[in-house]
Structure 1
C-alpha cells in the first residue's frame, strides 16, 4: 500500500462551491481506476470543524505503484495541474491498513494526523503505529484506518474515514478534519489488511 496526498490551499473568500461542483463532475472518473484502493475527495472550509483554511486535499491509498504512476503520469493528474498549478504530491509507504465496521457508503468525514517519527527503536515504534491503526478502525463509526511513513522526512501519517458526526462534536481521531465529497474505492477490498511487512 502507498499513501498519497496533495493540498490546494485556496483564498479565505474562495467560493468552495466551485470545488464541490468540480468533484461532482469528475469524481466518478476514478471509481474504476486500476491499482487504486481508495481515493477520498477531501475538503476543508475555513471556520468549520476547526479549519483555519479553505483547502481541497484528496487522499489516496494505492494498491499498486503502477496504478499511482498511471494516474500521475498518464494524463489524469494533468487536468488538476492545468487548472490549479502542479501541487507538491506527498507520498508515504504503507505500514498498516484496517477496515472499520461502518460501511463505505456512509463515509462523511476523514481525519488526517501527521507527526514526526520519534528517536526511538523503529521496530517498537512501528508496532505502536500498527496498534493505533487497529484501535482507530475498531471505534464506532470508523470506515477504515491506515498508517504510512515518509522515511525521507521521517513523518508518520494516520488516516481514517468516518461516518457523519454533528458539527459541535469532536471526531474520534486526533488530527485535521475533512469533509469527504466523494469516495472512489475500486480496489478497497484488495488492500491488504494488517501490518504491511
Structure 2
C-alpha cells in the first residue's frame, strides 16, 4: 500500500468556502476509484479554531492499494483538473507499514497528520515493529475511523495519519503523538472509499 498527499498553500485572505464548495460538488467522483482504499479531502484554515493552522491549505490525503491505482489517478483527468485549479504540487509518497480502515470511514470529520524525521542509522526493523504495534493499539481507540503509519526512504520521513469521527475523539491524538507541536490538523470535507 502507498500513502500519498499533496498540499496547496493558499493566500492568507483566500475564501476557503471555494475549497469547501469544490469538495462538496466533486468529492463523490472518486468514491469507487479502482485501487483507492480512501481519499480524504482535507483543508485547514487560519481562521479556524479547530485546525489552528498557520496557513490556509487544501491537502488531500490518499491511501492506495497499489501503484496502478495511484498512477491511473495521477495520469488522469482528476489530477489534471485539481492541478489546473490550484497549481502543480509536489506529491509526497510513503510506503505503508500498517493501515486500519473502518467500515464507517466515510463519517470522518477531522484528521491529524504527523510527519517526523527518521535519524540516520536508525534500526529500521525495530522502528517498524514498534510503530506497527503502537498503530494497532491506537486503531482500537474510540473515534478512530482510519489510521496508518508509513515511511519514505528517499527523504527518511515517517507519517502517522488518522481520520477521526469528530474533533472530540481526536484529542486522544496527544497520547500517540506525545505532543501536538508537530501535528497538522485538518477538517475533512469528504472521504471517498470503495463501495459507497
> Same fold per TM (> 0.5)?
yes
Q: How big is the shift at 1:106?
A: 2.7
Q: Is 1:116–2:124 an aligned residue pair?
A: no
Instruction: Name the structure 2 match of 1:182.
Output: 190
Q: For residue 120 of structure 1, give the secondary structure of its aligned residue in structure 2.
A: coil
Please say if residues 38 and 186 of structure 1, whose CA atoms lie closer than 8 Å, have aligned partners that are also in contact: yes
Displacement after TM superposition at 1:170 (Å): 6.2
Q: Tell me what 1:31 maps to.
A: 31
Question: 79-88 or 13-22, which moves further after superposition?
Answer: 79-88
Q: Which residue is 1:6 aligned to? A: 6
* Equivalence map 1:47-66=2 (5 Å): 47=47, 48=49, 49-66=51-68
Structure 1, unaligned runs of 5 or more = 189-197
In structure 2, how many angstroms separate the alpha carbons of the residues matched to 1:27 and 1:91?
21
* Contact preservation (8 Å) 2:110, 2:170: no
CA contact (8 A) 2:106 2:193 kept: no
Q: CA deviation at 1:81?
A: 1.2
- 1:46–1:53: 8 Å Cα contact kept in structure 2? yes
Instruction: Compute the displacement of 1:74 (Å).
Output: 2.1
- Report how far residue 117 of structure 1 moved: 1.3
Counterpart Cα distance in 1 of 2:52 and 2:82: 26
CA distance in 2, matches of 1:114, 1:131: 18
